[in-house]
Chain A
Amino acid sequence: MEQLSYKQLEKLLEGVLKPGRYIGNETGIKSKDISTDSDTESIVFTALVFPDIYEVGMSNLGIQILYDLINRNKNFSAERVFSPWFDFEDNLLKSDLKLFSLENRIFLDEFDIIGISLQHELMYTNALNILKLGKIKIKSADRDETDPLVCAGGPACFNPLPVAPFFDFFVIGDGEEAFIKVLDVLKEKKKNKKSKKWFFDNIREFEGIFIPDDYNFFYNDKGLLEKIEPERKIRKAVLKKIDDFDIVKNPVIANIKPVHDRFVCEIMRGCFRGCRFCQAGYIYRPVRYRDHEKLVSQCIEGIEKSGYDEISFLSLSSADYPGIEKLIDSFTAETKNEKISVSLPSMRLDSFSFNIARLIQRGRKTGLTFAPEAGTQLMRDAINKNIDKNEMLECMATAFREGWEKVKLYFMIGFPDETYEDILAIPELVKEILKMGRELLPGRKVGRIGINLSINAFCPKPFTPFQWAGQDPIEVLEDKFAMIVNHLPKKAVNVSWSDPRKSKLECAISKGDIRTAEAVERAFKKGARFDNWSEYFNFDVWENAFNESGLNMDFYTSRKMSKEEILYWDFIDTGIKKDFLIKENSKAEEILRSRKESDTKDL
């Protein structure tokens, strides 16, 4: 296998910012050592690609899980590949060298299979760039038997069509069992020198495998999808017994500080809350809890093996893990001499979870985060974010009395049938919280009160009850945001919001179809990459790419899809019936209709 030499690496690193991203040799590396294990023919080599920079990719749990799992098998070896930063990319191109993996510095095109993790839509162009830098043709149809297989997985390929032409196949759903089954077949292919066709024929029936070549999409003259052939649906892969796979106890420790620098323990997968806008809440179902006892012992082992001083109990809604307090208690009791801090990301705050926040912050009062998402109770009910205002305020009152000074609030704007009442309720709520804080905070702390307000644009996503909804046009979102800002108190409030153009693009590609793939390819060829990085995001490039592909972005974003329409992603079966989503959608409409009726009565 062709590898980059150390001398070549030194040359490539000249003048590069953060060269530590490219050196490998971390603690916790598990891939096969090909200098001693020379029989590379009997091993299947996987490049696990995370198409963002090292510090982001090394914080991703999915990569660590698959890396651990693949390398445990003596027949398989997995190595990591991340997006190089612009300076390193320049050096690669100037030296005419191919992108390589971190462990053995194997050139990308030498691998048997390349598996790319797609966490969100704004990573697509980075994924293509990685292929290009590895001198691999970006389209599946242009690759032949000598090229590596290229596949994708992760939440951003549940609707795979916008990137379908670039991948030979997709693994939709949980990767633990599904990907290993694929590698078993690949091992046979390599051993017996079988064709790619033989390989596809042997993985086709597996749960979660989508091979784009198998499917055809027919449109009517209005540009609407009329038929998907064949009718067979792709059922997502589901890991039924989550405890069959231990958490990753000896992760690879990043050489330079990753964005999340802590030991990560996934306590449950899936979320039962069913917020109607939240794609993760639907695609990760069913909810599966890890066993309490096993978690405690695995976490303790993990902390010892990794050397971290912080642990994160990860899930989509960690306060919903049954016995979360007990879990934290048992863990902290066992590690009390080691000063391990605990963090729970994605916690919905109510009186129950506030107690947990108190528990884990151990006297530090850094800040509390609430995500009411909508300003009025009615809209919160409509989106099924069942946070009760009074409970939330009571909880904040307690917090202020105890001396917590900072509150972070998350809201979304642009929900279906949203009115200005919903928008204006946001600054009203902020004012109310601020007033309460000033009354309740102990005297010397009043001046330090601060509210961080984060506003995002609603983006309808496939597989959610709001998948049919249209997104507010950019100008409307901007007006709504301006209205919030104008009504906010000038002091003590910090407001940030996501670029609505970015939300529009996210919507256009996440609800995209097979035609969208052309726009993705064009945008990439025009230089789009790191689209999720505000400083590199270029909306015009994307808009032109859509136009040149004969597409109108608005067709995918602001158009309200009809319930009778065949949706582009209808051939993917997440286990949630479309009827259920329709019912959920109707519930939201029902709730909002009650407002319209009472408004008319008032008049």
Chain B
Amino acid sequence: MENYKIRFKFQKINEFKYISHLETVRLLIMAARRSKIPIRYSEGFNPNPKLNFSFPVPVGLGSLAEYADMEVCEKIDLGRFVIDLNNNLGYGLKILDAVFHKEKLPSLMADISVIKYVFRLCFDDKSILEEYKNEIDSIKKEIKSIWMYEFSESQDDADIVYLNIFGYTKMLNDNKIFKFNDFLINLRYLSNNKNVGIMDFFKEEAYVIRGDILKTPMDIV
């Protein structure tokens, strides 16, 4: 049987950020069945759909960039694939993009190395921004993993500052995997102390590394 691989990107936001990874898989499979997408199944008494995901996002964290690879038995129209699936999913789970890929790609789980998180912060008093940065540097000493941060100002709202975090999701030497929830606890603590409001946070993108460059899992297909 001919074999086609689809890589797709989806978001998991609003209420659906509270659905665990396993439940998300279950919902996607059921939606695919409702959409009559000819998913390929493994052989044997308990056939499982050929569907592989990127590293699970923690429950409670919204994401604009979840990825999965699905195998299907026939070459289907990808536009229809996206529309049909979205018609059969709750609005918080939404397919954003889909492509076929022919060559053998490393699994998403192994390939994704960096994840970008965004925090929307509200400062009553912007003059403490420097101080706040110093505090984040001190968290860096505490968390034994590799990550970077940058700030960007909001265009529309003077009180709002975006904090972008790039966490490395692999172990390297003594460094552990960057764990979002550990970071969140620290950030909450210091934001409380400095009277900075954490308005919102989400996972914005996941990257693979090619050479020295960060690319999205869709870029490399």
Contact = CB atoms under 8 A, between A and B. Distances in A.
A187 B80 CA distance: 43
B47 A25 contact: no
Interface stretch (B83-91, B150-158, B190-198): B83-91
Given A25-B16, A27-B89, A255 B33 contact: no
B172 to A, nearest CB: 32
Given A24-B15, A27-B89, A256-B20, A19 B59 contact: yes
A307 B31 contact: yes
A18 B18 CA distance: 8
Interface stretch (B22-30, B108-116, B139-147, B207-215): B22-30
A18 B19 CA distance: 8
A443 interface: no
Nearest to B20: A20
B134 interface: no
A394 interface: no
Nearest to B45: A364
Interface core residue of B18, B29, B60 (most chain A CB under 10 Å): B18
A372 to B, nearest CB: 29
Nearest to B18: A19
A557 B6 CA distance: 63
A23 B15 contact: yes
Contacts of B91: 25
Contact of A26 (B33, B36, B47, B90): B90
Interface string B40-79: 0100010100000000000110000000000000000000
A257 B59 contact: no
A257 B26 contact: yes
A18 B29 CA distance: 20
A27 B16 CA distance: 12
A306 interface: yes
Interface in A287-321: 304-309
A323 interface: no
A27 B18 contact: no
Contacts of A253: 27, 30
Interface string A234-265: 00000000000000000001011100010000
Nearest to A303: B33
A6 interface: yes
A185 interface: no
B34 A256 contact: no
B82 to A, nearest CB: 17
5 contacts: A19-B59, A20-B18, A27-B34, A256-B20, A307-B31
Interface of A: 6, 9, 13, 18-20, 22-27, 253, 255-257, 261, 304-309, 338-339, 363-364
Interface of B: 14-16, 18-20, 22-23, 26-27, 29-34, 36, 41, 45, 47, 59-60, 88-92
Given A19-B59, A20-B20, A257-B22, 4 more contacts: A25-B90, A25-B92, A307-B34, A308-B30
